[in-house]
A = this chain, B = another copy of it.
Amino acid sequence: MTDQIDTAPDQDDEDDFGLPPRLFDDVLDAVEAGDRAALEALLEPLHAADIADLLEQIEMRDRRALLDLWSDALNGEVLSELDDNLREELLRTLPPEQLARAVRELESDDVVDLVEDLDQDRQEALLGALPAHERAAVEKALAYPDYSAGRLMQVEVVRAPQHWSVGEAIDFLRHGEGLPDQFYHVILVDPRMHPVGYVGLGRILSSGRQVRLQDLTEDSFRTFHVEDEEGAVAYAFNQYHLISAPVVDDEDRLVGVITIDDAMNVLGEELGEDMMRLGGVAGEAVMSDSVRETTRQRLPWLAVNLATAIIASGVIALFEETIGALVALAVLMPIVASMGGNAGTQSLTVAVRAIATRDLTTKNLWRVIRREAAVGLINGAVFAVVMGLVGLFWFGSPMLGTVIAVAMVINLVIAGLSGVLVPVVLDRLGADPALASGTFVTTVTDVVGFFAFLGLASVVLL
């Protein structure tokens, strides 16, 4: 990634593709001066995604002033690009007629994306602004489950009877009304509207008019069901390098098409969410979230962590007398727990990622468990030697060094094993392995670490 924070001139090159800091200043100057023409001149050439970024990054009062000055900045495309929370906030304040104008510009899947999180009333109001046929398409999509292929697809499809030739397809496309903005394949259907194959536009263009479409169909052809999970769709797009794929209903009839940009979005979101969950943050945390929203995302996990930290403290409390007799134990015990927690997090991070990419299955689970145990043993042995020496030289006690060394090996092996087993078991139970594993694993390593170290010490040293 290019350096984005640095604003030194030599770094601020064209490779950045981000928004030039100067633009922010110019926009804010125009807003402060109330100069609508200048503001329009600055924003008009920008891509909707960049305008959305700008709106996300400026202060709330500047955002209000900007939209008061030139409310057209918030058109349909910009709305589609905004962070969810900020979008909801702005949708609440937007006058109904402007909202209606904004949604009329969008394709059906973008409208679905825009309205699916709104409450019933606002959804109704927004849908009422659409032409009847588009409203029907959006309502149909909303009837599919959240995060399904049906929500993700666009209903505008380009299809052709399977017996057509290249020439017939080109003639059809030349006279076709309402073709989607972007399409990459012509989907071949049988008389009952079942998709039977597809032909990339490149193949159509590079073949003679008389060639039959059927002879040009591509191997990569795969269909999705409307109720397939969007995560599974994104996985398949990535695994099989798909560009677009038809979506079918229960009767296997063609009802829509998913394109790679939608799949890429989902893939990015799912990976980002897994990362957040591993970091103990609930939901899609973004920079434009408010203090209230941010607290809501973080407090629950901290509460769970507090409960598990108290359990670990309970283990320490069992050995109060031992610690009273040898305070060096209190000094060294966090080291064993911390090393275990880190080794567990490493193992866990790799396992969660592999479960998501379907690279950790029943077929290699046993091998991975053996590997984690072996790695835990090796790392444990290395750091056992180091800590043994620390115990010896810092506190002058060979036995204290031995105790911490043995506890280190035990905890790093347990860390490696629990780092794999906890997410696998959670996944098998239907829970999200990214969300809950961290707490379980660090609880295990804290408890095992304190218990092994203090327990051994109480037996050996006193």
- Name A's B-contacting residues (CB within 8 A): 1-7, 14-19, 21, 24, 47, 49-50, 53, 56-59, 158, 169-170, 173-174, 176, 179-180, 182-184, 200-202, 204-208, 225, 228-229, 231-232, 235-241, 243, 260-261, 263-265, 267-268, 270-272, 274-276, 278-281, 285-291, 294-295, 297-299, 301-303, 305-306, 309-310, 312-313, 316-317, 320, 323-324, 327-328, 330-335, 337-339, 342-343, 345-346, 348-350, 353-356, 358-365, 367-368, 371-372, 374-375, 378-379, 382-383, 386-387, 390, 424, 427-428, 430, 442, 446
B5 and A424 form a contact (CB under 8 A): yes
Bound CA span A267–B310, Å: 40
Closest chain-B Cβ to A99's Cβ sits at a distance in Å of 23
With A241-B261, A327-B324 as known contacts, state yes or no: A361 contacts B18, CB within 8 Å. yes
With A21-B363, A240-B49, A361-B57 as known contacts, state yes or no: A335 contacts B323, CB within 8 Å. no
A367 and B271 form a contact (CB under 8 A): no
Closest chain-B Cβ to A159's Cβ sits at a distance in Å of 14
Bound CA span A446–B309, Å: 14
B174 and A202 form a contact (CB under 8 A): no
Residues of B within 8 A of A312 (CB): 334-335, 338
Residues of B within 8 A of A327 (CB): 320, 323-324, 330
With A5-B428, A295-B375, A350-B285 as known contacts, state yes or no: A316 contacts B342, CB within 8 Å. no
Give me 30 A-to-B residue pairs in the complex whose CB atoms sit less than 8 angstroms apart, sorted by A's number: A1-B355, A4-B427, A5-B355, A5-B362, A5-B424, A21-B363, A24-B363, A57-B363, A170-B205, A174-B208, A182-B243, A184-B202, A204-B205, A205-B205, A238-B268, A243-B243, A267-B268, A285-B353, A286-B354, A295-B378, A295-B379, A302-B383, A309-B335, A313-B331, A316-B330, A320-B327, A320-B330, A320-B331, A334-B337, A338-B442
How many copies make up the complex?
2
A271 partner, pick from B17, B268, B360, B424, beta carbons under 8 A: B268
A235 partner, pick from B17, B239, B345, beta carbons under 8 A: B17
Residues of B within 8 A of A349 (CB): 275-276, 278-281, 285
| Nearest 8 A/B pairs, CB to CB | A279-B349, A201-B201, A330-B330, A271-B271, A57-B364, A1-B231, A309-B338, A309-B335
Residues of B within 8 A of A21 (CB): 361-363
B17 and A232 form a contact (CB under 8 A): yes
A239 and B17 form a contact (CB under 8 A): yes
Residue of B nearest to A180 (CB): B202
B323 and A365 form a contact (CB under 8 A): no
B3 and A428 form a contact (CB under 8 A): yes
B345 and A231 form a contact (CB under 8 A): no
Bound CA span A18–B240, Å: 11
Bound CA span A231–B17, Å: 11
Bound CA span A207–B231, Å: 36
B298 and A359 form a contact (CB under 8 A): no
A243 and B264 form a contact (CB under 8 A): no
A334 and B356 form a contact (CB under 8 A): no
Bound CA span A106–B19, Å: 38
With A316-B334, A368-B287 as known contacts, state yes or no: A279 contacts B360, CB within 8 Å. no
A361 and B4 form a contact (CB under 8 A): yes
Bound CA span A15–B312, Å: 41
